[in-house]
Amino acid sequence: MDVLKTNALYLGDNLEILRRYIPDKSIDLIYLDPPFGGSRDYNLLYREDGGKKTGVKAFSDTWKWHKAAEDVLQEVRQRAPSGIAKLIEGMAEGVGKTPALTYLLMMTPRLLELHRTLKDTGSLYLHCDPTASHYLKLILDRIFGARSFRNEIAWSYKGGGRSKKYFARKHDTIFFYTKSNRWTFNYQDILVGRTNRTYFTDDDGRRYWLKYGKKYYLKHEGKVPEDWWADIEPLHGPYRERLGYPTQKPLALLERIIRASSNEGEIVLDPFCGCGTALVAAQQLGRRWLGIDISSEAVELTSKRLQDSFPGIRFKEVVD
C-alpha cells in the first residue's frame, strides 16, 4: 500500500479504493452520507445555453437482490469478524433477501474498512434517514462497539412539502461514533440571535451589550449544540450554495461536524463525497482531506467546486 496522499479526489468504488490506498489508522475524521436505500435514481441537473435543463443520472439508490448481493453475503459469512457475520446472517433470516438486505450488504464491508482506517482517537459520523437507520446502528454497534456510540443527532428542518396522510418527515439522523474512549471534541457555541440587542467589542476582543449605560459581557455567544440541530436549513430555494446535486448538504452542517471532531492539519475522509461539501468545509477550516465517489459526474463537479472556491488550490485526482 502506498503512503497516504492527502488532498486527493478518487473516482471509483470506495471499497476498492479504501483497501488499496488508505492505510490502517490514518484518518482523523470520517463523514459519510451514503445513499439511503430510498429506491430511486437521482439526477444531477446541468443548465445549458438558453436556460434548458438536462438531467444526467448522478447515482442510483435502488437496491435489488441479485447474484452480486449473494456473493457479498457469502464473503461476509467467510471473511467478516464472527460477530458481524452472525449479525448479517440473522438479518438475512429476519428480513429475507430484500432490498434492505442488499443495501446492508453494500454498507457492511465499507464500514469495516472505514473502522480499519480510523485512528484510535478518530471519529465517524454516518448521515442517514429512517429508511435504514435502525439496521445501520446495529451494524455500527457491532463494528465500533456499543460503548463507542456518542450521539444520535437529529438534523431537523422545515423545507419541503407536507403529507396529509402521516406526520411530516422532517429530520435526518447522524450517528456519531468514536474508535476508542479518547477522541477530539471541540466545544462550540451555536449563536442565538437577539434582534433587539446591539453587541459591542472591547479592546480585549470581548463582546458585550449595554443596558442603561452598563456593560454586560457574554459568557458564551450562544448555546452548546444539543443532539437536535434545528438551526441549519437544507438547501431549498435560491441558496447560493446550490449546485444542482440532488442530495447536497449545507456547508454549515459539515463545518459544525469538522470543527467539533478534528483539528487544523488533521485528515478528513468522505467516502461518498458527492458534490464535495465535506471537502470544501475541510479545506476552508485548514484540514487535509480525501474524497471518493463512484460517479464521474460527481467527481467532476467536486473538482470544479474546489477550484472555484479556492483559486490556485492544488489537489490530486486519481482514477481507480
Per-residue pLDDT tens over the stretch 180-202: 999 999 877 655 444 345 667 77
How much is the pLDDT for 180? 96
Single-letter residue type at 137: K
- What are the grid coordinates assigned to 49, written together? 445555453
pLDDT digits (tens, 9 = 90+) for 20-67: 999 999 999 999 999 865 444 434 444 444 444 444 443 344 467 778
Q: Which residues have C-beta within 8 Å of that of residue 301, sequence separation ≥ 6?
A: 44, 243, 245, 275, 276
Q: Which residues have C-beta within 8 Å of that of residue 273, sequence separation ≥ 6?
A: 9, 279, 291, 292, 293, 298, 299, 302
**Helix or strand (DSSP H, E) at 272:** none
How much is the pLDDT for 41? 46
CB 136 within 8 A of CB 126: yes
- List Cα–Cα distances, 119 to 30, 114, 169, 182, 282, in angstroms: 10, 10, 35, 10, 18
Q: Which residue spans within 135-198 are E strands per DSSP?
A: 149-156, 171-178
Edge-first strand listing for the sheet containing 199-201: 199-201, 207-211, 214-217
| Structure confidence at residue 98 as a pLDDT band (50, 70, 90) | confident
pLDDT digits (tens, 9 = 90+) for 214-243: 887 766 555 566 898 887 878 765 456 777
- What are the grid coordinates assigned to 99, written together? 432490498
CB 85 within 8 A of CB 57: no
- Where in the chain are the domains? 8-60+116-163+170-188+225-319
pLDDT digits (tens, 9 = 90+) for 101-120: 888 989 999 999 999 999 99
Q: Please, what is the average pLDDT of the chain?
A: 84
| Structure confidence at residue 73 as a pLDDT band (50, 70, 90) | confident
Question: CA triplet 133, 134, 137: central angle to 5 degrees?
Answer: 80
Determine what percent of the chain is predicted with pLDDT higher than 70: 81
Topology given in CATH for the domain delimited by 8-60+116-163+170-188+225-319: Rossmann fold (3.40.50)
Phi, psi for residue 220 in degrees, rounded to 5? -135, 145
